[in-house]
Structure 1
Amino acid sequence: MLEISNFVADDRLAKDIAAGRKLKRPAQDPQRLAEQIVHRTRAGAGVDFDVFEALLGENDLVEINYLERGLLAARTVCRINVPAPVGDGSEWGTGFLIGPRLLLTNNHVIGSVEEAMTATVEFGYELDGEGRLKRSTRFRLTPQDGFVTSDRNALDYTIVALAPMSEDGDVALADLGFLRLDPRTGKTELGQYATIIQHPDARTKRISLRENKIVKYGDRVDPTRDNFLWYSSDTAPGSSGAPVFTDAWQVICLHHAGVPDRRMVQGQEHWVLADGTTAPAALARRLPADKVHWLANEGVRISKLIADLERQSKLDGFVRSPLIADLIADATGVAAFAGTVPAQSIIGPPLIAAPAIATIAAVAAEAAVLEAARRPTRRSHPAAFFDGRRGYEADFLPTPIPLPILGAAALRHGAPAKVTGAADDVLRYMHFSVVLNGAQDRKLAFYTAVNIDGTRWTNLDRGDDAWFYDGRIPEELQNGDELYGNEPVRRKNYFDRGHLVRRLDPVWGGIREAKLANDDTFHWTNCSPQYWGFNQGADLWQGLENFLLYNTDEEDVRASIFSGPMFRSDDELHRGIRIPQFYWKVIAVADKAGKLFTSGYIVSQQDYALDIPFEQLPVGPNSTKPGQNFQVPVTKIEADTGVVFPDVVRQADVYTGPTVGRRLRTVADVQHPRR
């Protein structure tokens, strides 16, 4: 992912660099020298006689803490993967943290909210002291929490928010620290050294330390080029978005492009190649990077980047974000990030704690404080978060299927929880709906209903399994980690957090729509306690779900699926909640002629089945093995749950086995208004 600068160097500079001649530093302006000393002091790097000589170009020595501070800075740098269109592989780049939950990279690495939603970032992809690959950590991007970009033909930057916890839930983003952006000029000068931390060619983290000097500092003649710095350094495709540092580990620019050696040949732009020959620019652009003779690399000056960010924030239509507002306030000196020292360049915990003598009580107290700081707060989405959600659509199939209604047998186990803003007490999410049992010993869904569009289905990464309370219902009516276990320290519990609407079922449509549907499934209202053997792998419940979902995807059909726990009076109490012994599903699909087919299934948490075969339409027996077929008449599900389906569902039932259960024929059996 090596971008190419469109800037044509002035002939003298180009010839000096191409010839390998040493660039002379200009006479040091005492005012600029004083500014650099102030910058180093604010950055926490310190100033002594060696540093003074280094700034004058007479001494290349640095303090040994240069290495330790470099490791601190390196923790903030990640590699970025953005899936390319189908068949085009993936694109890679580099990025780095610039504030609490904020990442900086190039626009040509992540150019839109849609790309951010599919991208993954990976920290710690590097070798340890023995040459072994460390355990890396992946985070999801959350552009809905903050996103600003500048076109690649302008300043070529993107700032985007990240999730506060890693995908596996083991690492807090705050533990990695960040690099503060300083908009003041004077941090470096022509001939001084630059350092780049990067992921070239998507490889392990590398650092460019040797023979790296600033060769061009802005352009006071051409204002359009004053936004950039040139520096001699080794980079490669995938380095785009890397931070470029001074010896004080202050970020001076965002790496974004290589500058090729250009020549005009008979009025046409040619590039000089590594072997000394030239080629037309149009051809040279398509050559591998190592075939081109590069004059330098180019980065976006941080001072110009911050100025552009501040300018964009004042435009009409700018999407406001507290994270972005805090970044602007910190960078412009209005207010520092909470808990940080103003102007400090590297923010984060030390690599190794300072030695200390302390009592056991003091150590325990400090550990308790750290644990409390790390522990995520109760995640909740306010009612307004769900504005615009249409939920399950009754007319999704050629034959409309309204939501089921709750009969007397269902209401024996509790009344529906009242939903703020919904007179019918239906919780509407992206492509699915939930009706929740509000009884204190249940707090589980009566049923869920989801639409699946196999023609528009996509497979998104699972993410970090962050479950949220739904603000439309009181939190005390939703089962959270108090039922399933202590999530922050990931203690294994007997029950999994089982999705009733499977995570992948509603994930279809445009990327924003699909991601929103994916995230909506991680609400406690859609969660149900399922034995680990029942929920995971190729076991009963997941086998049935795979049977239903993948057939709709492979056959590009539409389907509506209804699911829920079966409430029984003999369900055992666990942590104050009655645990369902059985779960049920009813699927409705239409063939190419528009004919409706339905099928019902009941699965026990006490039995297991493997190797469930797929069929052309996901209806009918899900297994031919004796004792492993879960198909039952829809009427049995009605009889056992009290959840009553419309007549069209019963009439389309493909079940042909023996009669089981009581058939509910009319709404006279129902004592709850239609939803």
Structure 2
Amino acid sequence: MTYLNDEEWRELSKIILTITRGDYATWRPILFSGLSLKFRAILPNNPVPAAQVRLDLNTMKGIPLIADGVIPLDVYLREAISNFEGLFPSEETRLKEFLAKVRQAASGAPPVGPLQRAEVEEAIVHQDDMLPMSFMHRAVEASRSVAKIVVPRILAGNPATVHGAPVLHNGTCWLVAPELVLTNHHVIQARAAGTGAASATDLDLQVDAAEILFDFDDDTTAATAITKAKLVWSDKLLDFALLRIDSNRPWLEVARDIPETPAGHQAPALNVIQHPRGGVKRIAIRNNLMSGASESELRYFTDTEGGSSGSPVFDDTWSVVALHRSHRVATDVQFQGKDVAYLNIGTRMSAILAHLKQHLPAGTIPELGI
């Protein structure tokens, strides 16, 4: 598959030449610095800047995914945005739009509909953001219930490979009840957009072979791995999947209502514990206000990245209010005086629980009162 259409590839080529001011040879190593030496070794060389850009883009077009789940174009765009931030506003906006399109297509997440205008456009910066120390203690306790999930792509009963290595999809999951973890439907599908859904047999095989890694908090300690999960229920529209695993770990409390706005603040805060880009566990607790809500979704400014799909979205009492699923490019939205590139989207826990109660016979999931 290709993440961009032909016109967008041509536009991207022009943008890269514009922001590097024709000195692509100097910037090229930086743009590819986040990729492995093995991948960089296959890139062709040409002394003409425009020709070199086209060759590099064609290579990434032909290799949309590396076996370890890395998307070369995602890394390339991220480096371009980071290194030229604020220097070329219109070009930067287009790069961010391309990056959002790449990530949505690669994840296989269902498209997010048009955003309503954000209810919070300008956060109050000068407010009392101090919290009791118990906030951090509860955050640490909550993190024990959050895990990285690695799902292999299986086609017709066989593991998919790239250059002999398995194709893996990274996400985040968390314990919503004893022995029950929640993640996104698109995470267990392990398919890019436009490639078709996994068959029921392949889906069960992917869930069974998925590796759920608790305690992956840093690179120096061994994670606790759990496999042989079983799919209980999933829904594409709400983008959730409920899996049963063998675990005696603590689970997270769920809040059915939207958190109230604290006195003196403009909006409630929403915190996310996640495994961005399949890396170690990280926590987002700053610049994290809720933007808006509907019956089934929450929108928020909290930082996330690819691999954060399936993360729990917490209120300040560390109860889960939503399941993080995706993001969408935002236009004409400001946060703390700056234009916002993206708004994040989560499925409200109240909508997920209502769906389960509606579609499953009573007593199917007693742990959730269903």
TM-score normalised by L of structure 1: 0.32
Q: 2:299 aligned to 230, 237, 244, which one?
A: 230
What residue number does 2:172 align with?
94
Please state if 1:296 is matched with 2:368.
no
Please state if 1:216 is matched with 2:285.
no
SS of the aligned residue for 2:212 comes to strand
CA distances 1:497-550 after superposition (whole Å, capped 9, x unpaired): xxxxxxxxxxxxxxxxxxxxxxxxxxxxxxxxxxxxxxxxxxxxxxxxxxxxxx
| CA displacement at 1:259 relative to structure 2 | 1.4
Query: Does the CA contact (< 8 Å) of 1:76 and 1:97 recur in 2?
Result: yes
Compared with structure 1, are the counterparts of its residues 234 and 5 closer, same or farther at alpha carbon in structure 2 (3 Å cutoff)? farther
Counterpart AA for 1:110: I
SS of the aligned residue for 1:13 comes to coil
Query: Does the CA contact (< 8 Å) of 1:23 and 1:215 recur in 2?
Result: no
What residue number does 2:357 align with?
310
SS of the aligned residue for 1:110 comes to helix
What residue number does 1:199 align with?
275
**Separation in 1, partners of 2:285, 2:240:** 24
What residue number does 1:22 align with?
123
**Separation in 2, partners of 1:235, 1:186:** 20
**Separation in 1, partners of 2:260, 2:207:** 32
Pairing of 1:247-646 with structure 2 (within 5 A)? 247-261=316-330, 294-314=341-361, 324-329=364-369
Please state if 1:150 is matched with 2:241.
no
Q: 1:126 aligned to 217, 225, 235, which one?
A: 217
| CA displacement at 1:123 relative to structure 2 | 0.5
SS of the aligned residue for 1:148 comes to strand
Query: Does the CA contact (< 8 Å) of 1:23 and 1:191 recur in 2?
Result: no
**Separation in 2, partners of 1:186, 1:231:** 12
User: Using CA pairs below 8 Å that are at least 6 residues apart, which structure has the higher relative contact order?
Assistant: 2
Q: 1:60 aligned to 107, 115, 129, which one?
A: 129
Query: Does the CA contact (< 8 Å) of 1:79 and 1:202 recur in 2?
Result: yes
**Separation in 1, partners of 2:310, 2:136:** 22
Structure 2 unpaired stretches of 5+: 1-102, 155-159, 190-202, 333-339
| CA displacement at 1:60 relative to structure 2 | 1.8
**Separation in 1, partners of 2:112, 2:251:** 31
Pairing of 1:153-164 with structure 2 (within 5 A)? 154-163=237-246
**Separation in 2, partners of 1:180, 1:13:** 28
SS of the aligned residue for 1:212 comes to coil
Compared with structure 1, are the counterparts of its residues 59 and 203 closer, same or farther at alpha carbon in structure 2 (3 Å cutoff)? same
**Separation in 2, partners of 1:79, 1:90:** 12
CA distances 1:649-670 after superposition (whole Å, capped 9, x unpaired): xxxxxxxxxxxxxxxxxxxxxx
Structure 1 or 2, whichever has the larger Rg, is 1
CA distances 1:290-315 after superposition (whole Å, capped 9, x unpaired): xxx7331000001111000101114x
Query: Does the CA contact (< 8 Å) of 2:297 and 2:348 recur in 1?
Result: yes
Please state if 1:181 is matched with 2:268.
no
Q: 1:105 aligned to 180, 183, 193, which one?
A: 183
Pairing of 1:5-16 with structure 2 (within 5 A)? 5-10=111-116, 12-13=117-118
| CA displacement at 1:262 relative to structure 2 | 5.7
What residue number does 1:429 align with?
none
Counterpart AA for 1:308: H
Query: Does the CA contact (< 8 Å) of 1:93 and 1:238 recur in 2?
Result: yes
SS of the aligned residue for 2:300 comes to strand
Counterpart AA for 1:104: L
Compared with structure 1, are the counterparts of its residues 6 and 262 closer, same or farther at alpha carbon in structure 2 (3 Å cutoff)? farther
Compared with structure 1, are the counterparts of its residues 188 and 113 closer, same or farther at alpha carbon in structure 2 (3 Å cutoff)? farther
SS of the aligned residue for 1:247 comes to coil
CA distances 1:625-647 after superposition (whole Å, capped 9, x unpaired): xxxxxxxxxxxxxxxxxxxxxxx
Compared with structure 1, are the counterparts of its residues 7 and 118 closer, same or farther at alpha carbon in structure 2 (3 Å cutoff)? same
Query: Does the CA contact (< 8 Å) of 1:310 and 1:328 recur in 2?
Result: no
What residue number does 1:33 align with?
none
| CA displacement at 1:117 relative to structure 2 | 1.3
What residue number does 1:413 align with?
none
**Separation in 2, partners of 1:160, 1:327:** 13
Counterpart AA for 2:309: S
**Separation in 2, partners of 1:258, 1:5:** 9
Counterpart AA for 1:87: T
SS of the aligned residue for 2:161 comes to coil
Compared with structure 1, are the counterparts of its residues 118 and 261 closer, same or farther at alpha carbon in structure 2 (3 Å cutoff)? same
Query: Does the CA contact (< 8 Å) of 2:210 and 2:229 recur in 1?
Result: no
What residue number does 1:53 align with?
none
CA distances 1:128-161 after superposition (whole Å, capped 9, x unpaired): xxxx622211001331xx611011xx10000010
| CA displacement at 1:65 relative to structure 2 | 1.2
Aligned residues between the structures: 233
CA distances 1:402-442 after superposition (whole Å, capped 9, x unpaired): xxxxxxxxxxxxxxxxxxxxxxxxxxxxxxxxxxxxxxxxx
Query: Does the CA contact (< 8 Å) of 2:112 and 2:326 recur in 1?
Result: no
Counterpart AA for 2:368: I
What residue number does 1:519 align with?
none
Structure 1 unpaired stretches of 5+: 25-56, 164-172, 219-225, 264-292, 315-319, 333-675
Q: 2:228 aligned to 123, 141, 162, which one?
A: 141
CA distances 1:165-185 after superposition (whole Å, capped 9, x unpaired): xxxxxxxx21x31113233x2
Aligned-residue RMSD, C-alpha: 2.8
Runs of 4+ in 1 over 6 A off after TM superposition: none
| CA displacement at 1:188 relative to structure 2 | 3.9
CA distances 1:200-235 after superposition (whole Å, capped 9, x unpaired): 0000000011100000022xxxxxxx2000000211
Query: Does the CA contact (< 8 Å) of 1:97 and 1:177 recur in 2?
Result: yes
| CA displacement at 1:104 relative to structure 2 | 0.3
Query: Does the CA contact (< 8 Å) of 2:234 and 2:240 recur in 1?
Result: yes
**Separation in 2, partners of 1:231, 1:161:** 29
TM-score normalised by L of structure 2: 0.58
**Separation in 1, partners of 2:170, 2:113:** 24
Compared with structure 1, are the counterparts of its residues 261 and 186 closer, same or farther at alpha carbon in structure 2 (3 Å cutoff)? closer
